[in-house]
A and B are shown apart, each in its own frame.
Chain A
Amino acid sequence: MPDFVMSYLGSTVTPGEAGNQFWALMYVLIIFAGVSTAVICMNWIERKALAHFQVRLGPMRVGPHGLLQPFADALKLMLKEDIIPAEADQFVFWVAPLIGLLAAFTVYTVIPFGPSQAVSDMNIGILFMLGVSSLGVLGIVVAGWASNSHYPLIGALRSSAQMVSYEVAMGLAVVSAILMTSLNASGTGTLSMIGIVQAQQQQGVWFIFKFFPLGFIGFLIFAIAMIAETNRAPFDMAEAESELTAGYHTEYSGLRWSLFMLAEYAAMIAVSSIAVTLWLGGWMRPFPNLLNAPAWDFIFSLFPGLTFLGLTAITFVGVARMPAQSFFKIQRIGLAVFAALLGFIALLLLVIAVAGRSADGRLLARFSEGIDYVYWFVLKVAVFMYLFIWYRATWPRYRFDQLMRVGWKVLLPISLGVLVVTAIVGVLVS
């Protein structure tokens, strides 16, 4: 094995820091594939969860319980005719979805899935993240403008105004969290995403509980602003279906439209990741400082395997509940194979967890550790993703001016207040 492959393994820093370009590229590919898979899963889960909120079944036809629906949809979208309206600005129309997609995916370079499980640990990580993620609005504005049509234009204008106003409150909430990172002996804070999580570990508290309720309010402001930032209900002004048909992507279809959707969901995962990193302890498992005996480490390292075991059990229950007619035979077999696959993953994870503990080989131990970090991170993000669906099922849509009022007159003063009070409390404490 070439040296540049092996030398990084066992390192405790990100490939970006270690200067290992091979592994940095590998991480980029892994993250790209992972996020795309997550978007596909999210697509299915959103449709199923939304359906069950609304006393429907959701997709049931393509594959058992509609499991293959996202793939069928993706195939359909790819095969559709590629339409560029005659009156549209061809080049800008073409480039707009790519801008959105690029912005949404670039953010992932600094998201820390673990202390070394990130492409790079920039010392300005959070600034980079906020900056790049807000570039996503450019894609939307440009799409609305290039379509040369009224509804997309209005959608794009709404979106830009909305994002700009919510970014302010969002930024201030982030600053209040960053302030908390400086509450250590040296008195210096950090903007590094990994540093922020490590600061929470050192202080022994997630920032959501720091200076209660200050951290909590900051988190809430961010949680509200991030919905607006990603144009999701109840702030989905930009694509308000009942008003603007489809908002900025009215004129888009087929693959380009699916790129917008991919960008939207990737952005949702990205902002959830910021929230998790800043306030919910990032990759840390619950109580890493209190329950720090090796026995607890072992118990918590079993969680990923157990989760998949649970999913396996649920899927097998689904297999058992399927009607016994021969019509469902293929679906039953398919679901059983899926369950077996989940079970296999569960087994693999459990074996890795157990072996990683007993193995003195650093590689396996490190791999097992990495799985833990990624698991807890993804679990926390998944909670946010579920909330996104829940909001969408529950709430009506805000009107544009009310949205602005909430942003400027409610969230901004509160986040300013939280920032000032956090600073004062921080000085008094230290």
Chain B
Amino acid sequence: MSFPANDRTNLELETPDKPYLDSNELIINMGPQHPATHGVLRVILKLDGEKVLGTECVIGYLHRGVEKIAENRTYTMFNPYVDRMDYVAAVSNGLGYCEAVEKLMNVEAPARAKYIRVILTELNRIASHQLWLGTHALDIGAMTPLFYTFRDREEILKIFEKYCGARLTTHAFRIGGCQYETYAGFEKDVKNFLTFVAPKIDEYETLLTTNRIWLERTRNVGVISAADAIALGVTGPVLRASGVQWDLRKAQPYAAYSEFDFEIPIGTNGDTYDRYLVRMVEMRQSLRIIEQAVNGIPEGPIMGKVPKVIKPPVGEIYHSIEAPKGELGYFIVSDGSTQPYRLRVRPPSFVNLQALDIMVRGMLVADVVAVIGTLDIVLGEVDR
């Protein structure tokens, strides 16, 4: 592969009159095999010494054609595939997909199913944030939080495993509700988890929140203004850390979120530290939501009135949910058959990754790593 000759790269467009091999600039390839690119992201860095003059992301190393697969599967058959996009938050993916199809068919999941969905999705949000925290801290050089977060994430995965038999790619929900009733002791397990994890989150914070080195490494690093964030379509904690109070759970409530009392944390500076704080508060808010949901979980059926063969009417639908990483949207076009005519996913990681370039320009190489970590991308979702 000879990327230098490729004149489409935006790195060269900025200084067209310069010879390619300028002695002052260094072009290095970060990834696709690199310890800190969270999978198979390749970032081409143009450096002046350690200073980043520009970046270019090369993606697609994990492309599996999920959207095309959808056109060749029935709605039910496609359901497990969405788990393989953001594989650390598979429950959220499933929720978004199921709700989108339900909306297209104009059916609604029963209240109990909605509560189960909220509990599992919020547990998954915590798991996703824990994984983010561990890897982000590891990127910045703090090894230890990784092991603490993975130890505690295990408890969530155990609940998933007991509920649906899978730990990661859960396929927890079905179109119209949930396939499985909660197992005996589910509520107790969840409540135990709540009391277990709250002090653990404090424990992570003791290692990082007031740590001088952590502050220096994250404050004023990868700053993105609210206007820029909105212009780029950035969503989720990255957008909220820039001071925009936009969370789909509040803005356009889905599942049972309108029934719960919780707050949307926002940051002020839009830097890496704010994004860290926002996510830490989000974990605690998720605990609040889970507590309310598990205490108020209604009795009743878990499956709505859904036909055996799912055949939505002709039409199209866009439905989005607040995944741990941001707005996860599904756009489905139905031609009235059992298979989607077209299915498009709006993955939060893919859109958020666009912000990398403006966030790291003028920063140092070490900040690129910190910013990739703080964007919380999952390459399975970026490439689909």
Contacts and interface: CB of A to CB of B under 8 A. Distances in A.
Contacts of B143: 50, 54, 392-393
Given A241-B35, A242-B35, A395 B28 contact: no
Interface stretch (A31-39, A88-96, A300-308, A398-406): A398-406
B213 A395 contact: yes
B151 interface: yes
Given A55-B148, A241-B35, A242-B36, A395 B50 contact: no
A262 interface: no
Contacts of B368: 243
Interface stretch (A71-79, A179-187, A232-240, A309-317): A232-240
A151 interface: yes
Contact of B140 (A54, A56, A242): A242
A394 interface: yes
Given A53-B144, A55-B148, A402 B35 contact: no
B34 A399 contact: no
Nearest to B139: A242
Contact of A54 (B26, B139, B144): B144
Nearest to A153: B26
Interface stretch (B84-92, B96-104, B236-244, B359-367): B359-367
A19 interface: no
A234 B213 contact: yes
B301 to A, nearest CB: 42
B145 to A, nearest CB: 9
B137 interface: yes
A396 interface: yes
Nearest to A50: B143
Given A234-B213, A396-B217, A245 B141 contact: no
Contacts of A50: 143
B239 to A, nearest CB: 25
Given A242-B139, A394-B207, A399 B35 contact: no
A285 interface: no
Contacts of A236: 141
Interface in A36-77: 50, 53-56
A150 interface: yes
B43 to A, nearest CB: 12
B85 to A, nearest CB: 25
Nearest to A244: B365
Contacts of A210: none
Nearest to B212: A395
B216 A54 contact: no
Contacts of A401: 50, 364
A398 B215 CA distance: 10
A366 interface: no
30 contacts: A53-B144, A54-B144, A54-B146, A54-B147, A55-B148, A55-B151, A150-B28, A151-B28, A154-B50, A233-B141, A234-B213, A242-B36, A242-B141, A242-B369, A243-B36, A243-B369, A245-B34, A245-B35, A394-B142, A394-B144, A394-B207, A396-B140, A396-B142, A398-B141, A398-B213, A399-B216, A399-B366, A400-B366, A401-B50, A402-B217
Interface of A: 50, 53-56, 150-151, 154, 157-158, 233-234, 236, 240-245, 392-402
Interface of B: 26, 28-29, 34-36, 49-50, 137-144, 146-148, 151, 207-208, 211, 213-214, 216-217, 364-369
The 6 closest A-B pairs by CB, nearest first: A397-B141, A54-B147, A242-B36, A396-B142, A150-B28, A396-B141
